Amino acid sequence: MGCCTGRCSLICLCALQLISALERQIFDFLGFQWAPILGNFLHIIVVILGLFGTIQYRPRYIMVYTVWTALWVTWNVFIICFYLEVGGLSKDTDLMTFNISVHRSWWREHGPGCVRRVLPPSAHGMMDDYTYVSVTGCIVDFQYLEVIHSAVQILLSLVGFVYACYVISISMEEEDTYSFDLQVCKHLFIQMLQITK
């Protein structure tokens, strides 16, 4: 078996997905984005399961990974729509934090080139409200950074889906060949027993 087989490619792809998901998980934790944290956690578990299934030749685990990649693409499309405010969604809602806090994306205040200034609150405002933080000079707005993260996840998942389907089909063919070989061996063994009698 060569190194550039579908199986090896899927292993490398799962490793890339793990690195990408862990990076995203860190920044979602920094921004207290609870919905993406939960999604990333599930994604990491299923990618590890897919990686294990690929290494151990377990097609059922790879099937779970394949189904999850379709769900993961759907979730990331939702995140893209959320941050681009498509279909009545608004990036200024507390949807990603389950309405627990007023935190937003970590990239909102800490993006590349961003200068963060805390403005004095007005007399009737709350001290911890994010409206009192001024961010200027960002090279890329935070919503586009979130969209880029989701687009990378979608790309990795789609390629992973294709490779997983390929590895599953190869595994099923090998299982069929293996079961055929067992039947042939059994038949030959029975014939040898009859000859020796």
Q: Does position 91 have pLDDT exceeding 50, yes or no?
A: yes
pTM of the entire structure? 0.76
Instruction: Compute the distance between CA of residue 75 and CA of residue 133 in angstroms, rounded to an integer.
Output: 29
Contact 91, 83 (CB under 8 A): yes
Instruction: Compute the distance between CA of residue 69 and CA of residue 165 in angstroms, rounded to an integer.
Output: 11
Contact 118, 133 (CB under 8 A): yes
pLDDT value at residue 153 = 95
Instruction: Compute the distance between CA of residue 55 and CA of residue 52 in angstroms, rounded to an integer.
Output: 5
Mean pLDDT of all residues in 112-130: 65
Instruction: Compute the distance between CA of residue 35 and CA of residue 155 in angstroms, rounded to an integer.
Output: 21
Mean pLDDT of all residues in 106-120: 76
Instruction: Compute the distance between CA of residue 134 and CA of residue 109 in angstroms, rounded to an integer.
Output: 8
